[in-house]
Structure formats: C-alpha cells, structure tokens
Amino acid sequence: MSQAQDTDKATGETGRKEATKLDPAKIILEHVGDGHEFHFFTFHQRPVSIPLPVILYSPAKGWSVFMSSRFEHGHQTYDGYRLLNEEYIGENNLDEKIFKPGRIWAVNEAGQPDPSIKLYDLSLTRNAVQMLISVLLLIWLMTGVAGKYEKGQGVTTAPSGFQNVIEPVVVFIRDEVGKANLGDRYEKYMPYLLTVFFFILINNLIGLVPGTANVTGNIAFTAMLGILAFIAIMFSTGKHYWLHIVNPPVPWGVKVIMWPVEVMGIFTKPFALIIRLFANMISGHIIILSFIILIFVFGAMNTALGWGTSPFFVLLSIFIYLIEILVAFIQAYIFANLTAVFIGQAFEGGHEEGHGGEHHQEAVVV
C-alpha cells in the first residue's frame, strides 16, 4: 500500500516528464528537500497537494501571510512575491546561481524577481509543520502514559497498554545510556536524554511514511539538535575538564600538538553528531527514491524493461525500508548515547571512571 503510493508519486512525476527528460537527481532532491506544500502526486497534469501557510516579512512591505496555493505551484505572482520553479527560471533566463527553484522572491514593478528587496521567509514549510505534528503527538503520547503512572497504574499494579511499550525503553535509556555514562548524576540529565531519543525516533519514523517530509534529514534540524547537545555538554564541564584541555599531563612536545586537537575536539564531537544523523536519514531516503526512480529510468529506455524490472526494484525498496526502520531506532539511540558519553567526559574527575552501570539489572533481555 505504501509502495503503491510511492509509485503513484513517481508516476505522477513521469506523467509530466513525457514532454521533458527524466531528471532523477532533481526529483530526488525535490522529495528530500523542504517545500511550501505537502505534494503527494500529480494526476493528469494536476498536482495533488496540501498547501501550507507562507509567512513573509519584508522591511519594505511588512508582514504577509497567505496560503501557498495562491502561488499556484509557481505560475502566479501574489502580493508582490513569486515562488520560482525551473520553468520560470528557464523562460526568463534568470541567473541560476542566484535564483534557485523553490524559493520565494519579491518582484519589482516590472514583474521580475528582485534580489535587492530584502525578504525574510518564516513560512510554515512542510518540515516545520511535520515537526510540530510530531511534537504534539509526542506530548500527547507521553503525557498519557505519565498520567497513567500518576494514578498508580504501573506503580502498584502491573503496567497496562502503552505503558508496556514505553517502560522498557525508558528503563533501557536510564540504565544503558544514563547511569552507564553519567554515573551518579544521571537523574538531572534523564529528561534531556529521553526527549532527544524519543523526539529523534518519532521524527525518523514519521519521515519514513511516503508523502511526509524528511525532517531529520534536514541539516538545519540536526544542527539545532547538535547545538543543544553542545550547550548541554558545556553546562556540564568542570574545572578539571578545562584544565585537561589547556594543560594535559603529557610531555610538552605532545602538549603542543594536543592543544589544537583538543580545542577542535570540543567542536567536532557535536558536529559529528549533526552530520551522522543528517547523513544517515537523508541517505536512506535517497536510496529508496533512487530504486523507485530506476524503474522509470529503465522504462524510459524500453517500456517492457521498465515493467519487467519493477517487481524486483519494489521488493528491493521494501527491503531497504525495513533496514531504514532499524536505522531510525539505531540513530536515535546513538545520538542519545553519544551525547551522554560526551557529557560524562565533561564531568570533573574523569579519572574516577564512575562505572555505575556494572551491576545494573538487565532491563531488556533480547
């Protein structure tokens, strides 16, 4: 069912491509990128999509709020703004380096997009809307479970319903990620680690559904998560940590080499977190989309070849989908775990090596 929708999505794209050549890179980047609408498919030259609010601020004109349907997929100028697509850029021979498709530009009196008019695009794009939906979903699920625990269900009696799903996971994060890396001070960090884990997990999983936006594969989203992890790490540092960076107990020859490496290390650790999550999620999406588009690449060469290879590619896509579900869980766990490791490294007295996790109970026996 999801695969049919996926092929419908790609069929729609190829329906338009009868006139133009198939451009896989552009289609893939369109699907994994951000946009001002939820585009599902194109039915007989008619795009089927959900438009989203466009919120623009220009120092010259003030605020403008309207639905992106007013742009009619890039064919209409509205309120002095225009959404550029490739046809418009091609027709008017605009400089492709400046005018990239998918962005909104202010048009001057002549009707041409004018880069000199300053414009701040604060729209609710599909990444933003989907992130808000997943935030609300997460809050609803978690407060539901927490409410049950407050009433005593699962404390004095056996856990019931969704508690059975959440409790092993929370205990796992508390023991394997919190206590193992943070020792005695794990309780202060549990809200943050649990939020990071569940937020990344829910965004990963929702992003796998065909038709949804690719939130965790967006570098801005993961960059904010990385910055928050960096802030959490910096807030946990003690004198001992900085002393070790500036004056490690090594011979002076090594010390000179350690200085730039350690200073860079402060920044490369969150940077690696950012890139790891971003690259894993976006590569998963690109692989699935590539396999589906390969069907159409083969179909463009020879229709029979396209039909013949399609079962094989669809099965391959399903296989990759299952791997991507596993990767969704793993990447959420890795982000939370590495953040806990880095926070643990930032604590004072790193030589004590607080191994709080050695005698814990096995929370999840796999």
Partner 1 sequence: MTTLLDVMQPGYGAIGAGLAAIGAGIGIGQVGKGAVEGIARQPEASNDIRANMILAAALVEGVALLAAVAGLLVAVK
As a whole number of angstroms, the distance between CA 293 and CA 268 comes to 36
Shortest distance in whole angstroms from residue 129 CB to partner 1: 26
What residues pair up with 121 in beta bridges, in sequence order?
Answer: 56
> 16-35: which residues touch partner 1 (CB under 8 A)?
25, 29
Report the residue from 6, 13, 37, 176 that binds partner 1 according to the rule CB under 8 A: 176
Binding mask 203-242 for partner 1 (x = CB under 8 A): ----------------------------------------
How many CB atoms neighbour CB 75 within 10 A? 11
CA distances from 263 to 18, 241, 253 (A): 55, 12, 17
Give the number of C-alpha atoms closer than 13 A to the C-alpha of residue 46, restricted to the C-beta side. 2
Report the residue from 22, 171, 228, 334 that binds partner 1 according to the rule CB under 8 A: 334
Contacting range for partner 1; rule: CB under 8 A; set: 115-123, 206-214, 250-258, 358-366: 358-366
Cβ atoms of residues 217 and 32 within 8 Å: yes
Binding mask 313-332 for partner 1 (x = CB under 8 A): -----------------xx-
Shortest distance in whole angstroms from residue 17 CB to partner 1: 19
Residue 32 or 104 having the CB closest to partner 1: 32
Instruction: Identify residue 350 by its one-letter amino acid code.
Output: G
Helix, strand, or coil here: 355?
Answer: coil
Q: Measured on CA atoms in the order 283, 284, 285, 289, is the torsion positive or negative?
A: positive
As a whole number of angstroms, the distance between CA 267 and CA 252 comes to 24
Task: Specify the DSSP element, H or E, that contains 128.
Answer: helix 126-150
Report the residue from 91, 184, 353, 362 that binds partner 1 according to the rule CB under 8 A: 362
First-last CA distance in the chain:
31
**275 interacts with partner 1 by CB under 8 A:** yes
DSSP 177: I
Binding mask 338-357 for partner 1 (x = CB under 8 A): x-------------------
Helix, strand, or coil here: 160?
Answer: coil
Report the residue from 278, 291, 296, 313 that binds partner 1 according to the rule CB under 8 A: 278
Binding mask 255-274 for partner 1 (x = CB under 8 A): -----------------x--
As a whole number of angstroms, the distance between CA 228 and CA 189 comes to 13
Residue 74 or 217 having the CB closest to partner 1: 217
Shortest distance in whole angstroms from residue 357 CB to partner 1: 10
As a whole number of angstroms, the distance between CA 277 and CA 342 comes to 16
Residue 54 or 175 having the CB closest to partner 1: 175
Residues near partner 1, by CB under 8 A: 25, 29, 176, 272, 275-276, 278-280, 282-283, 330-331, 333-334, 337-338, 362, 365-366
